[in-house]
Amino acid sequence: MLDETSRELSKYRLSRSADDLDAANILLLAGKDNAATNRAYYSIFHAIRAVLALDRKDFSKHSAVISFFSKD
pLDDT digits (tens, 9 = 90+) for 58-67: 888 999 998 9
DSSP 3-68: -HHHHHHHHHHHHHHHHHHHHHHHHHHTT-HHHHHHHHHHHHHHHHHHHHHHTT---SSHHHHHHH
Q: Name the percent of the chain lying above pLDDT 90.
A: 79
Averaged pLDDT, 49-53: 93
Where do the structural domains in the chain lie, given as residue ranges? 4-71
pLDDT band at 41 (very low <50, low <70, confident <90, very high): very high
Average pLDDT, the chain: 93
Alpha carbons 34 and 7: distance in angstroms, whole number: 32
